Structure 1
């Protein structure tokens, strides 16, 4: 029996967070919409019993009204036409698109939608690698109709099924490997299906900028451009030995293989997290003395959130740490390992507080995070959520 050609799909939800909000607020679907920040701000009073779809556009917060240092989590396609995009500061976005609607991030809603679309995928193609809240890799090779028309038949079926179940759209790239599938899914957004094969690499891959390869970030791209390598084709033409000399044996060899569209990575269908963490960026820089009460409250909430995440996902951890970003953007981390694994908020809070005593708290703080690593499953089963203990409200690390 002939061996079936490998067919890997990368499925990426289109403007996922904004699309979920578009389902909840249909009146926002065709207007510039930005997701960012943490609180709802209405421009005019909105009755608690008023259905979401009946809230008038005039009531929604506008980017022009925003004051702070938050960043955009995502933006819908109408907002992107104004040059607004993910990771951009909200104040900058306000200058580019002042009339854009601003909604806060609602991760509970996005996680629920994520579970829903992934459940649809697994009913049609059971071999799936979860890559995050809005994207997956799928092995089409042996899935029903996964080989028909190069995978297009199954891709179209998935798009229809996801839209029917969730109301959301997605883009799908199908290729012989993960690297090409990831690139393909981004070529015809939104709602596109793109097929790539090895024979397409010279005509469709090589004209693209190097940054289109997932794994080539800004710094690597800057170094490549300094070598005169701006497109993937120019990277492919660069001798392998030159890349290894400039970037090291492992990274240089990978750059060469990636430029030629080669990737042998398998799908990872089951994995355990290395750690769980929560962090928050403040609207203004906080000082450990002058803003002690506010920092204490936020620090406690982060510890409680991490503990709740551990309990919900069925993990306990031993290594507890903190992350601080100062006003000058310098980041410091500290951690400490406790004798036994735990998911107890009070233990996490106390140990993280000890970590805080080991950093400079005389400077203003921009970001604060709490992390629990060295995870394990207690007795092979998820523990029941314990009652939330009382935790001190003050920034105890200063005592």
Structure 2
């Protein structure tokens, strides 16, 4: 989906189309309609805090503002950009709509998140049709049908990459955004894929990109010229072999229609660093809310988990994680809160905190077992956050 969160917001505020808009503000930064019918919008220049951008419109991206960028940094680049709060309920709603529309045409779907899917079009009627002059005519028409179905269901546009495999389709879906359609055969990999920078391959992150650049490898074509043994020497056996295949567009992963999540988590970055003692009450409220949100996620998705963990990041950007495995799975908020609190007691809390998170792992279907009465008694109201500090 094209700039998905931002595009959903533009359905709500169509008057903002064509303007730089950033998604990631707080609820109190919702647009306000004034008595004369005009609207007042929060501006990025007025933001104070340490929040990060969730996404932005293409007009904002043209100014250098991108997702995961700090708001304050973005404000220096685009001070007049409009700032809107996130609304995940709305985004999940439109996500369900577009996926339902797509699977009416191509039912073999791999769900890759709220705004991205893979489809296996091999057996979809019409996909193999073509003419001597245009052997891909059938697949092109099918892609247009999918795009139209998404638009009819949501009012939103999407970009599609159609290739022989998932790795190449991921690359191609991003080549002609927004509202793009890119078709690619394996024969075209040298001319259309190799000139691209290596970071365009999903799985080559910032660290690997930097290391490749220090080794003189900047494009996918240069990576394809590297010897397998050389890549293994520099990147290890598994990753080196994967780099060798990925540069050649070699990917045999199937479209997986169902997979079990490994964990569910919630975390938050504070607007200001919070002190374990001085801000104890506020931290306790946030900690309890995170546990309740994780429990609600487990309930909604139909899972329970045996391992409860926490994540902390202090003002020196040091990240600490702790976890504990329970004898029985749970999705009870009070039980999660209790054991997350036990994890917290093992961490020396000597610095201010900038991030706090809660995770439940070792998931299984069902509601798990009921927590012991002693756990229930230690509910969120009576559990101090930082015992012994």
Fold shared per TM-score above 0.5? yes
Which residues in structure 2 correspond to 1:177-326 (within 5 Å)? Answer: 177-326=165-314
The answer to whether the 8 Å contact 1:297/1:394 transfers is no
Which residues in structure 2 correspond to 1:356-395 (within 5 Å)? Answer: 356-378=344-366, 391-392=380-381, 395=384
Partner residue, 1:157: 145
Partner residue, 2:102: 121
Change (3 A) 1:397 1:275: same
2:59 corresponds to 1:78:
yes
Distance, in Å, in 2 between the alignment partners of 1:193 and 1:29 is 22
Q: Which has the higher contact order (CA 8 A, sep 6+)?
A: 1
Distance, in Å, in 2 between the alignment partners of 1:269 and 1:55 is 48
- Which residues of structure 1 form unaligned runs of 5+? 1-12, 381-388
Matched residues, number: 374
Distance, in Å, in 1 between the alignment partners of 2:101 and 2:269 is 35
2:123 corresponds to 1:142:
yes
Change (3 A) 1:278 1:99: same
The answer to whether the 8 Å contact 1:14/1:190 transfers is yes
CA-to-aligned-CA distance 1:296-343 (integer Å, 9 cap, x gap): 000000000011111111111111010001111111000111221111
Following superposition, the deviation at residue 150 of structure 1 comes to 5.9
Partner residue, 2:133: none
The TM-score normalised by the length of structure 1 is: 0.90
Distance, in Å, in 2 between the alignment partners of 1:230 and 1:364 is 40
The answer to whether the 8 Å contact 1:293/1:393 transfers is no
Distance, in Å, in 1 between the alignment partners of 2:33 and 2:204 is 46
Following superposition, the deviation at residue 250 of structure 1 comes to 1.1
The answer to whether the 8 Å contact 1:310/1:343 transfers is yes
Change (3 A) 1:46 1:185: same
Distance, in Å, in 1 between the alignment partners of 2:22 and 2:106 is 33
The TM-score normalised by the length of structure 2 is: 0.92
Aligned match for 1:94, one of 72, 75, 79:
75
Runs of 4+ aligned residues of structure 1 deviating over 4 Å after TM superposition are none
The answer to whether the 8 Å contact 1:183/1:214 transfers is yes
The answer to whether the 8 Å contact 1:296/1:393 transfers is no
The answer to whether the 8 Å contact 1:319/1:338 transfers is yes
SS in 2 for 1:355: helix
Partner residue, 1:56: 38
2:386 corresponds to 1:397:
yes
- Which residues of structure 2 form unaligned runs of 5+? 130-136, 369-377
The answer to whether the 8 Å contact 1:183/1:213 transfers is yes
The answer to whether the 8 Å contact 1:137/1:267 transfers is yes
The answer to whether the 8 Å contact 1:293/1:394 transfers is no
Which deviates more, 369-378 or 140-149?
Answer: 140-149
Partner residue, 2:340: 352
Change (3 A) 1:368 1:227: same
Distance, in Å, in 1 between the alignment partners of 2:86 and 2:108 is 30
Change (3 A) 1:203 1:55: farther
Distance, in Å, in 2 between the alignment partners of 1:262 and 1:42 is 46
